[in-house]
Amino acid sequence: MREGYAAWADSYPARPHNPLMEVEQAIVAPIVEAAAPERALDVGTGTGRYLPVLVSAGATLVVGLDLSMAMLRHQLPQGRRVCADATSLPFADGSFDLVCSSLMVGDVNDLGPWIAEATRVLAPGGQLVYSDFHPSWAARQWRRTFTSADGRQLELSYFPHQIDDHLTRLETAGMTIRAIREPRLAGRPDPVVAIFHAEKRGPVTARRVRPGTRDPHTSPPRG
């Protein structure tokens, strides 16, 4: 996996660069904006696509974490960079108000350690929003391919996860599920990505709410 990302790093832009990423970010970015976090962590940040979104949402502490040093060597647009494993986060309990992750969990065989760690580093009332390749990928035998900077056509494998597995792991970790989204692309009958929004149970301290946004703790449970 590290070798694959190292080969991809030189040609991986810090923006949504395909329709799947575009439809995913169109859903995730408003959730992040409404959460208005002060301390935010992006797990599997890659070249930092979500770091500007976190800064725009008002976060004063922004950390981008990735297992690939080749990806992190890019000049990330904002935030601090940490090279570490998503299943063993090097942060104290309750360090963040929001943890986000875009399409990283396809690299993780077992969802349990990732979700447990994301929950641990969240403060009570903190929010987790992350996306995964939809189970339809495995059913349709879709492949995860890219073109390297030297023109080679390469493929990265991924671990398929069922929706129920996500939900079970989130509930076991002490998260309240707020929304599940399964967007489709034009012309495709099946969803292409699954997006999960959950909140850590526990007493919530006073939170700031950005002008013009709704307090995420009073929003409806489905989105």
Return the pLDDT at 222.
Answer: 35
DSSP string, the chain: -HHHHHHHHTT--SS--SHHHHHHHHHHHHHHHHH--SEEEEET-TTTTTHHHHHHTT-SEEEEEES-HHHHTS--SSSEEEE--TTS--S-TT-EEEEEESS-GGG-S-HHHHHHHHHHTEEEEEEEEEEEE-THHHHHT---EEE-TTS-EEE-------HHHHHHHHHHTTEEEEEEE--B-TT-SSB-EEEEEEEE-SPPPP----TTS--GGGS-S--
Please report the domains of the chain, with CATH numbers, ordered by start residue: 2-218 (3.40.50.150)
* pLDDT average, residue stretch 157-177: 94
Residue 20 is predicted with a pLDDT of: 87
Stronger pLDDT, 119 or 203, i.e. the higher one: 119
pTM of the model: 0.83
The pLDDT assigned to 217 comes to 39
Output the pLDDT for position 146.
63
Asked if the model's pLDDT at residue 167 lies above 70, the reply is yes
Q: How confident is the model at residue 144 (pLDDT cuts 50, 70, 90)?
A: low
Mean pLDDT of the chain: 84
pLDDT digits (tens, 9 = 90+) for 177-196: 999 999 998 877 889 899 99
pLDDT higher for 168 or 154? 168
What is the pLDDT, as a whole number, of residue 157?
Answer: 75
Residue 219 has pLDDT above 60, yes or no: no
* pLDDT value for 174: 97
Question: Band of the pLDDT at 221, cuts 50, 70, 90?
Answer: very low
Higher pLDDT, 223 or 126: 126
